[in-house]
Structure formats: structure tokens, C-alpha cells
Amino acid sequence: MSKKAKAKGKRTVMKVILLIVALLIVLFLGLIIYANSLGGNARDSGSKTMITVTVEKGSTTSDIGALLEKKKIINSGSAFKLYTAYKRLDGTYQAGTYALSPSMTASEISHILQNGKTNDITFTIPEGYTEYDIASRLASIGLVDKDQFVSLLENGGFSTEYTFLKKAQKGSHNLEGYLFPSTYTIPATSDGDFIISTMLSAYQKVFTDADRVKAKKLGYSENEIIIIASIIEKEAAVDKDRAKVASVIYNRLDDGMALQMDSTVQYVLSLSSDRKKDLSIDDTKVDSKYNTYKYTGLPPGPICNPGRASIEAALNPAKTKYMYFILSDKLDDTMVFSTTYKQFLKDKDAYYKARDKAEKKNN
């Protein structure tokens, strides 16, 4: 081979080496730019959902990234790992329970995970609470500002995340009935959005596809079942009466009768004042679509947030011909049921006589 050919070969090799080096530099710079950009990008910047994530002790960055991806908080666990490596954060993340959102960037998530375990707060929402009862309960234990929480309940726009709300009543009471009553343990850093989302997510798990099939067989929508369940929750004090109360509701609906449920009127009154021990005739004339004395059919929305037992009763009503019920004169919170108005009046008279006698004795 001539010297000229050798020189040409060396120049070719050098060009290839320089090209490879240049490509590696471009690739490296690209990775740096990409990794850096990950810190400022969120999966869904408009999301209001807060998701509880528990990072177990000994979790690697890969484990955490995979968990965040599985929980749909980030788009890619691998990208999160790359960002962590670029920022030299490997090994700095702490085990603990966190409230994270798809609206958070990798940078924000990393910062939270570096701070370590959050303190947890446990609270209980009883069956039958209205959304305003819930606001009062949470405010009383210092979790939320009541007015701000009520504003979130009325204007939060959660139907984007929870599609079942799109078929619920419109307006300020859109969430009523779907804030599932239970005992919750949440990070102390949780805000109102997270609390509401947690309760809606609990409902989403409780009301199953099998329940929707049952509702359809009964001829009612999911929302109508929850309305019925909410009435059962307020009317029946003991479990054994729930299915029979449900049967009265369905029997009256099938017969075209007004439901005449005191609980629906009490709900109307509770929106502007306090509930009453006994309703007056004037109370039953209040002009509201929730007033089932004045309007036939179901009210426009649930009157409280029912528990699973009442939902079960709404989906599985007892087969009866009962059209009426009232509290028993035993004063043990059980109901007596009847098929005729005449018998109902007798049962009603017996109850009030027993109650008046007991009150006089106690006084």
C-alpha cells in the first residue's frame, strides 16, 4: 500500500472516530436536556386527583418509578429513574406514605419523597352524613377550612376524574351520595381535593359492575339506586329493616304514590336551618323537588351519603306488599310495617303514645 493510500485511510478512520464522538456528545447532551426537561413536565397538569402512595423501606429508584407509573402519577418509571440519576438523587428518597398527584412534576415529586414519611391522620365519616355534615366534621378536627371545603364540594368539578358523577344530579349537590362513609387514614399534608378524591375513589370501589347489572334489572340507574339508598339510610335505624323500607319505596313508586318520606323534607330543612324532631303540616308543604310529600317520584338527588348496607337494600329489596312504616312502640329503633293506611294510623298512634309516656317518665 502506498504512503498516499495509508494517509487517506488514516484520515477516514479519524473522520469516523470524530463522527462517533460527535454523535455521542449530541446523544449525551440530548439525554441531559431530556432528563432536565422531565423535572418540569407533569403527566396531567390539570388533574385534581390526589393519590396515596406508600414507598416501602428498601425500595430502589426503579421500584419507586414503577410504582408511580402503575399508580398513573407519572408517564414513565424509566424516565423518572433517568431524572433521578441526572440530579444525583439516587438513595435520597425516604420510605413513607405520600399524597401525590398526576399534576405534579418529577421535580416536585422528588422533593416530596426526599422529605420522608408524612404523619397520618385517621378520621371517620358515619353512614348518613350529608356533604355539609362531612365538612363540619373535618373542620372540627382541623383538617379543612369549612367554607373552603364546601366551596370545593359545590364547585370542584370532580366529574372529569369520576365519570359516574356525570350522570348524577347537576349543580352544587353533585357529590351528595358519593362521598363514601368509612374510616380513612390519610397523610397529614392532604388538602381538600385529596380528601374528596379519596372518598369518591372509595365509592368507586364499593359500587361494582355487578351492582350496575342489578340496578338495570330493577329498572333504575346507578344514581337512582343511590338516591333510594340514601333514603333508606335516613329512615331505617337497624339493618334488619333496610330491605323492608326499600320494598315500601319501590311499592310506592310502582303504584304512582308520593313517597312521603320525612327524611327528604328534613334534608330540605337542613339546607337552611336545623332538622326537626317532628315535621309540621307546613313543613310537608315546603316547595322543593326534594319534598316527597309534594312531588311524586324520587327526589332529584341523594339526601345523604349511604353506607354499603343501604346500597345492598336498595339493590335487593324485600318482596312485600307494605306501603307504610313507622317506628315501633317498643322504642328500640325498629320499624313496624303495614299494607293499609288504617293500620298505619294505629301503629302511628301507638308509637307517639309510647314516646310521650317515656319522655314524661324521664322528665
Return the percent helix, strand and coil in the chain, to nearest 5: 55, 10, 40
Provide φ and ψ at 325, rounded to 5°. Answer: -160, 155
Q: Is residue 202 within a helix (H) or strand (E), and if so which, with residue range?
A: helix 192-206
Is residue 188 located within the same domain as residue 150? yes
Residue 161: how many other CB atoms lie within 10 Å: 17
Is residue 267 located within the same domain as residue 198? no
The alpha helices in 256-299, defined as continuous H runs, are 262-270
Residue 10 has pLDDT above 90, yes or no: no
> pTM for this structure?
0.71
Of 143, 174, 206, at which residue does a domain stop?
A: 206
Question: Of how many residues is the chain composed?
Answer: 363
What does the alpha-carbon distance between residue 116 and residue 156 come to, in Å, rounded to a whole number?
Answer: 30
Q: Is residue 45 part of a domain?
A: no
Is residue 58 located within the same domain as residue 92? yes
Which residue bears the cell 322528665?
A: 363
Q: Are strands 96-100 and 120-124 parallel, antiparallel or unpaired?
A: unpaired
Q: Is residue 8 part of a domain?
A: no
Is residue 224 located within the same domain as residue 275? yes
> 97: domain CATH number?
3.30.1490.480
Q: Is residue 286 part of a domain?
A: yes
- Chain centroid, CA 65 distance in Å: 26
Of 206, 226, 250, at which residue does a domain stop?
A: 206
Q: Is residue 11 part of a domain?
A: no
Q: What is the percent of the chain where pLDDT is above 70?
A: 88
Q: Three cell numbers at 276? A: 326537626
Is residue 99 located within the same domain as residue 140? no
- Domain span including residue 88: 51-114
What does the alpha-carbon distance between residue 363 and residue 159 come to, in Å, rounded to a whole number?
Answer: 51
Q: Is residue 353 part of a domain?
A: yes
The alpha helices in 236-318, defined as continuous H runs, are 239-255, 262-270, 308-315
Is residue 241 located within the same domain as residue 336? no
Q: Three cell numbers at 122? A: 385517621
Is residue 144 located within the same domain as residue 85? no
Q: Three cell numbers at 323? A: 306501603
Is residue 137 located within the same domain as residue 198? yes
Q: What is the percent of the chain where pLDDT is above 90?
A: 53
| pLDDT of 149 | 94
pLDDT digits (tens, 9 = 90+) for 208-240: 999 999 999 999 999 999 999 999 999 999 999
Is residue 181 located within the same domain as residue 138? yes
The burial of 290, by beta-carbon neighbours within 10 Å (0-12 exposed, 13-18 middle, 19 or more buried), is given as buried
pLDDT digits (tens, 9 = 90+) for 76-132: 888 888 888 888 888 889 888 787 888 888 888 888 888 765 667 889 999 999 999
What does the alpha-carbon distance between residue 78 and residue 61 come to, in Å, rounded to a whole number?
Answer: 9
Q: Is residue 243 part of a domain?
A: yes
Is residue 185 located within the same domain as residue 220? no
pLDDT digits (tens, 9 = 90+) for 253-287: 999 999 999 999 999 988 776 677 777 888 888 89
pLDDT digits (tens, 9 = 90+) for 138-195: 998 888 899 999 999 988 788 888 989 988 877 778 899 999 999 998 887 788 999 9
Of 114, 136, 162, at which residue does a domain stop?
A: 114
| pLDDT of 32 | 55
Is residue 214 located within the same domain as residue 309? yes
**Total domains present in the chain:** 4
Q: Three cell numbers at 354? A: 309510647
Q: Is residue 97 within a helix (H) or strand (E), and if so which, with residue range?
A: strand 96-100
- Chain centroid, CA 126 distance in Å: 14
Q: Three cell numbers at 278? A: 317532628
Q: Is residue 3 part of a domain?
A: no
What does the alpha-carbon distance between residue 15 and residue 19 come to, in Å, rounded to a whole number?
Answer: 6
What does the alpha-carbon distance between residue 206 and residue 200 come to, in Å, rounded to a whole number?
Answer: 10
Is residue 199 located within the same domain as residue 220? no
Residue 43 has pLDDT above 90, yes or no: no
Q: Is residue 142 part of a domain?
A: yes
Mean pLDDT of 1-24: 64
What does the alpha-carbon distance between residue 334 and residue 242 come to, in Å, rounded to a whole number?
Answer: 10
The burial of 277, by beta-carbon neighbours within 10 Å (0-12 exposed, 13-18 middle, 19 or more buried), is given as exposed
